Amino acid sequence: MNAGILGLGRYLPDKIVTNADLEKIMDTSDEWIRTRTGIEERRIANDDIDTSDMAYEAAKAALNNAEISAEEIDMILVATVTPDQSFPSVACMIQEKLGAMKAAAMDVSAACAGFMYAMITAQQFIKSGAYKHVLIVGVEKLSKVTNWEDRNTAVLFGDGAGAAVLGPVSDGKGVLSFELGADGTGGKHLLQEGDFIHMNGREVFKFAVRQMGESSLGVLDKAGLTKEDVDLLVPHQANIRIMEASRERLGLPLEKMTKTVHKYGNTSSASIPMALVEEMEAGRIKDNDLIVMVGFGGGLTWGAIALRWGK
């Protein structure tokens, strides 16, 4: 049984923090941030909005878009590294809010590759016939683990949530191939230490540029497809230079790569589903399009999926 995306949704906090705003509180500049990252602004959640609140709003939107009721959901997977607390999981919290009482629920921790890990976990349950509908959410409130005095990391991150409903689709549609991987020896380069995110930018950049390109090509090869078959590349929105390196590795024109990093910054596990919603709402995803999604993150982890759009 093939598994594909039946519906998408997202939640964006109202508060916009621009590079000019950051110039007022730290030694940085709009030009420095834009030229190195491509980021111009990011969304930051208010203190009274936590991770589960954003996840719930995105999940509701995805269910509405899929025209699936909460009672029809068999499992909820939430990819996040910034849960409200250690337990109960964010997945259990939104299960209650949604009224999805049939659904099993758990969180998935794979940092910025979390949505890829959750999506393939869902695909395996659907493909086996164990479950029919799985709700997955990528959500982060990174502002609560960001050191606003560290200009090397504070300029990068934002808050938000993206969600998808996965279910059975017709032959030839849905997930065609995937690649998941991890290298725990690189965990020291991107981690939460104490209260805040710490990152060795040079090492993470080198890893991401190599892995994003290799994984994108890898899933195409597994699916028996070529670079010329790709209609849309949806990379993790971390840094425009990393994204551009991945696009060039696939030989794609600019218009075939999703770009939201300038508006939302790095939202970790939320970035790929949020970008998919952007493309869907703009009418840039068409039935039968071949989409390559690829992400990387702390762990170090990575994941890529080749997906044929449609039901």
Give me 133's structure tokens: 């509908």
How much is the mean pLDDT over the chain?
96
The confidence score (pLDDT) of residue 201 equals 86
1 has pLDDT over 90: no
- pLDDT-derived band at 62 (thresholds 50, 70, 90) equals very high
The confidence score (pLDDT) of residue 130 equals 97
pLDDT tens digits, one per residue of 165-201 = 999 999 999 999 999 999 999 999 999 999 999 999 8
CA distance 229 to 225: 6
- pLDDT-derived band at 282 (thresholds 50, 70, 90) equals very high
The confidence score (pLDDT) of residue 272 equals 98
Q: Which of 92, 133, 189, 236 is catalytic?
A: 236
Find, among 292, 266, 267, the residue nearest to 212 by Cα: 292
DSSP annotation of 30 reads: H
Annotation marks residue 288 as catalytic: no
CA distance 309 to 311: 7
Please, are residues 90 and 139 in contact by the beta-carbon 8 Å criterion? yes
Beta strand spans in 44-188 (E): 75-79, 104-108, 134-141, 159-169, 174-182
The confidence score (pLDDT) of residue 177 equals 98
Per-residue buried b or exposed e for 194-223, using 16+ beta carbons within 10 Å of the residue's own CB: eebbebeeeebbebbbebbbbbbbbbbeeb
Percent of the chain's residues with pLDDT above 90? 98
Give me 219's structure tokens: 């899933």
pTM for the full predicted model: 0.96
- Average pLDDT estimate for 85-104: 97
Annotation marks residue 266 as catalytic: yes
- Average pLDDT estimate for 93-110: 98
- pLDDT-derived band at 95 (thresholds 50, 70, 90) equals very high
Beta strand spans in 117-264 (E): 134-141, 159-169, 174-182, 190-193, 196-199, 232-235
φ and ψ of 45, to 5 deg: -75, 145
The confidence score (pLDDT) of residue 254 equals 95
Annotation marks residue 112 as catalytic: yes
pLDDT tens digits, one per residue of 200-232 = 989 999 999 999 999 999 999 999 999 999 999
φ and ψ of 300, to 5 deg: -75, 145
Find, among 134, 122, 160, the residue nearest to 264 by Cα: 160
The confidence score (pLDDT) of residue 97 equals 98
| Helix, strand, or coil (residue 308) | strand
| Helix, strand, or coil (residue 110) | coil
pLDDT tens digits, one per residue of 162-173 = 999 999 999 999
The confidence score (pLDDT) of residue 170 equals 96
Beta strand spans in 183-297 (E): 190-193, 196-199, 232-235, 290-297
| Helix, strand, or coil (residue 23) | helix
Which residues, at least 6 apart from 256, have a Cβ–Cβ distance to it below 8 Å?
230, 231, 232, 233, 247
CA distances from 230 to 141, 223, 234, 280 (A): 32, 12, 11, 17
Question: Kind of pairing, strands 41-43 and 16-18?
Answer: antiparallel
CA distances from 268 to 72, 114, 158 (A): 28, 8, 8
269 has pLDDT over 90: yes
Q: Which of 65, 112, 133, 239 is catalytic?
A: 112
φ and ψ of 287, to 5 deg: -55, 135
